């Protein structure tokens, strides 16, 4: 009779150990999936910021930038039009200041890329660009 009791206790201990191992494996898998998800969001938002920056560089070089931004003021919002909404991301751009150097203008811009699903800022880019 005691052997059956020992067998039952040993079986319960093994079940407990294997349950803990399964729970740990599940936790690690879930944590890795979350990290991968966040990295994917980060890379996508950085690519969007690069694309919007290039769009703004082109407008600055063509002399058309001041059509979408108030170049005479500071801390003014930039109207990005179709370049402000990308599937799950929203881009906000601000012209921090314009510096006239005599042979051109330097524009200092800040971009924020927000994630609509996570409801938070993913990428922030600040740059200065001298238009030719």
pTM of this prediction? 0.73
Quick: pLDDT tens for 43-81. 999 999 999 999 999 999 999 999 999 998 778 999 999
Angle formed at CA 97 by CA 103 and CA 94, multiple of 5 degrees: 130
Q: Which tokens sit at 98?
A: 């314009």
Burial class (CB in 10 A: 0-12, 13-18, 19+), 45: buried
């Amino acid at each position: 009779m005691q052997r059956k009791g020992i067998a039952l206790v040993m079986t319960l201990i093994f079940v407990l150990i294997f349950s803990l191992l399964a729970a740990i494996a599940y936790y690690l898998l879930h944590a890795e999936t979350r990290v991968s998800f966040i990295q994917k969001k980060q890379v996508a938002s950085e690519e969007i910021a690069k694309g919007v920056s290039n769009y703004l560089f082109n407008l600055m070089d063509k002399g058309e930038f001041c059509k979408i931004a108030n170049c005479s003021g500071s801390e003014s919002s930039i109207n990005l039009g179709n370049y402000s909404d990308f599937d799950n991301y929203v881009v906000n751009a601000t012209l921090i200041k314009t510096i006239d150097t005599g042979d051109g203008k330097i524009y200092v811009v800040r971009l924020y890329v927000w994630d609509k699903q996570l409801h938070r800022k993913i990428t922030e880019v600040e740059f200065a660009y001298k238009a030719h």
